[in-house]
Amino acid sequence: MLKVNEIYKSIQGESSFVGLPCVFIRLTGCPLRCVWCDTAYAFEEGKEMTVSEVVQSAKSLGLSLVELTGGEPLSQKDAFPLVKSLLGHGCQVLVETSGAVLVTELDPRAVKIMDIKCPGSGMMETMLWENLNHLTGQDELKFVIKDKNDFDWSCSIIEKHRLQDRKILFSPVFGELEPKLLSSWILEKNIAVRMQLQIHKYIWDPDARGV
């Protein structure tokens, strides 16, 4: 059984899949408490569903691109068989994870979008760095950046762990860091990362749910 917060379709707002129609499966629960979290409603709210029910609900929305998100979706053990079942039903599956849960059991066909927690999140110490050893060429690393300290720290992590050949996403904390300022730091550093905005927050109200 899974505890599911919401299942809906929307425009993918982040990652290299940005702009594509996508079904989102938001699972309930998260062991982290990032200071800038925008989905605190998913900490507790949700209803019990079987893996089969979740798959059928997602498939009924008519899209093949599906993202599993949270909270931290992998904090529920049945998230792993859910991913496998979605893949078996012909879906392309993205899994957004904080890096605080070991990903070794995750089906390698799924695209992992791993959020490396910067100091400004308050959750930097939760990162399981061994997860970096289980990334494939299709996976992506996201750094949500609050300020210049977060930016400098992110650049140092990329160098320390030799992540330059990975798909790297730099995203400003919405409402706290001006995208123009983050863009200027990227250009000054000449670092090969993808600058990204949460475009769903520009299309709809930033606090809207299910879009």
Q: Could you tell me the CA-to-CA distances from 78 to 4, 13, 171, 178, 187 in Å, in that order?
A: 11, 26, 29, 38, 42
Q: Is 202 exposed, middle or buried (0-12, 13-18, 19+ CB in 10 A)?
A: exposed
Query: Is the pTM here over 0.85, yes or no?
Result: yes
Q: What is the pLDDT of residue 35?
A: 87
In the predicted structure, residue 145 carries a pLDDT above the cut 70: yes
Tens of pLDDT, residue by residue over 46-78, are 999 999 999 999 999 999 999 999 989 999 999
Tens of pLDDT, residue by residue over 18-33, are 999 999 999 999 988 8
Q: What is the pLDDT of residue 11?
A: 94
Q: Could you tell me the CA-to-CA distances from 63 to 36, 46, 77, 132, 182 in Å, in that order?
A: 30, 23, 25, 30, 33
Q: What is the pLDDT of residue 199?
A: 86
Question: Which of 102-106, 143-147, 168-172, 199-203 is the least confident region?
Answer: 199-203
Q: How large is the average pLDDT for residues 154-175?
A: 95
Q: What is the pLDDT of residue 73?
A: 95
**Better-predicted residue by pLDDT, 32 or 172:** 172
Rounded Cα–Cα distance for residues 188 and 107 (Å): 38
How many C-beta neighbours within 10 Å does residue 20 have?
A: 12
In the predicted structure, residue 211 carries a pLDDT above the cut 70: no
Average model confidence (pLDDT) for the chain?
94
Q: How large is the average pLDDT for residues 176-195?
A: 96
Q: How large is the average pLDDT for residues 71-88?
A: 96
